[in-house]
Structure 1
């Protein structure tokens, strides 16, 4: 596929609720910021490659081949986001744009090496689940931080204690909803934990950890 074709099937995948619904040409045109006539031309190209199925007056949907291709593109983008954000510490506002460009690199061998180098991450830099190379996802669950083992990474999605004192403590420590949190260590003696929030390492008590919910991924 050309980079433009990859961009289109990725857009159709997201517009079609993870590739499961039919998408109108007008919706695609709006997403791609182009004219409907340009979308029609691209639809013919994608249909000829058996990446999409077109239904007159209804729109398009991804074929099985198209869905796998879209997930491959998305997988590459999310892996590059992790690399740029966590390894190169590129400013957050630049990561998405750079990853959008890098996702068009064709070398599957390079992507396999990148995945291994990053430790086979299951969650992207911005919190989205990274597809397996076979197109499958790992399921997402919500767990209390104090129940997680070292090496587990997740996104802070909720709190158990909404008291003013606890919220003030979280603000002081720089812990907020949406933070990427990595469990580094857990003390067996008192349950306290060392965690990494984005690029900062802090120590928290078991009481604090028992009041923070993280969204993590698990094997299906």
Structure 2
């Protein structure tokens, strides 16, 4: 239970400047808010979480370290399932959820080595390093691009497998180059121009769906490191295109 909770809290914070609430955690884990409230008391007593009554929920240093290692496991497993076992990117989340608790640290390290120490998973989520460092960058929600602005797709939320399938069918994948050609606010539609890597031509995407797509706007930096505690800890380590911070 503790591993799932600290991981959920960390992910809530990863793409947001805000703090996790009991409702956020309940939605992510698919449980009742009352269940979360009860389990938070145990996490507080175990020194993993700080929680003021009716207030925000934050991870302690120990809680954050535990969360980062669980996130690392999950994202490496997702990457292995896609890269080595031929899974589609919309199939791996639940499989990794089942496997992450059973896999040994040695197995996870060997997956990491076999994959060449990847920086991101199949959805563009950043993979923490073994020492707890996590790369961050300037990726923003696609819906935040103005008409005429261009960027490179850096992350797509894996919350909705159907959306992942739809985007793949229309060439909107990681590293695709896109330009916002038009915003039809009254209809809630973005008109996007894709480069040849995405099949070329234009596509329409609902603005709500566009909030699940994150792009590295032209001219923004690829990323920087932060430690397990969340503070910036250096410069971009290179590798695959990183993503940044926004609401997951």
Match of 2:175 in 1: 156
Q: How many residues align?
A: 169
Query: Does 1:33 pair with 2:52?
Result: no
**1:79-138 superposed Cα distances (whole Å, 9 cap, x missing partner):** 011110011102333211101111213521111111111111111111111111121123
* 1:61 equivalent among 58, 67, 71: 58
Structure 1 residues 109, 55: closer, same or farther in 2, change over 3 A? same
Task: Classify 1:105/1:159 alpha carbon distance in 2 versus 1 (closer, same or farther; 3 Å).
Answer: same
Runs of 4+ with >6 A deviation: none
1:135 and 1:20 map into 2 onto residues whose CA distance is: 20
Question: What SS does structure 1 have at the residue aligned with 2:50?
Answer: strand
Select the residue among 68, 73, 87 that pairs with 1:71.
Answer: 68
- SS of equivalent residue, structure 1 residue 47: helix
Unmatched tracts of structure 2, length 5 or more: 140-150, 153-172, 182-192, 204-217, 224-235, 239-248
Matches within 5 A, 1:102-121: 102-105=99-102, 107-121=104-118
Q: 2:21 aligns with which of 21, 24, 44?
A: 24
Pick one of 94, 97, 117 that aligns with 2:94.
97
Alignment partners' CA distance in 2, 1:48 and 1:36: 19
CA–CA separation in structure 2 for the residues paired with 1:96 and 1:53 = 28
Matches within 5 A, 1:1-220: 4-17=1-14, 21-105=18-102, 107-140=104-137, 155-158=174-177, 169-170=196-197, 218-219=236-237
**Residues 55/63 of structure 1: CA separation in 2 closer, same or farther (3 Å cut):** same
| Compared CA separation, residues 42 and 20, structure 1 to 2 (3 A) | farther
Q: Cα gap change, 1:35/1:158 in structure 2, threshold over 3 Å: closer, same or farther?
A: same
Partner-residue secondary structure (3-state), 2:65: helix
The 2-side partners of 1:169 and 1:135 are apart by 37
1:32-56 CA-partner distances (Å, limit 9, x unpaired):
2222221122112211221101112
Question: What secondary structure does 1:130 align onto?
Answer: coil
- TM-score, normalised to structure 2's length? 0.56
Higher relative contact order (CA 8 A, sep 6+): 2
Q: CA RMSD in A?
A: 3.6
Distance 1:216 1:17 in 2: 16
* Structure with the larger helix share: 1
Q: Deviations over 1:146-192 (max 9, x none)?
A: xxxxxxxx9415358x9xxx958545589x9xxxxxxxxxxxxxxxx
Unaligned ranges ≥5, structure 1: 146-153, 177-211
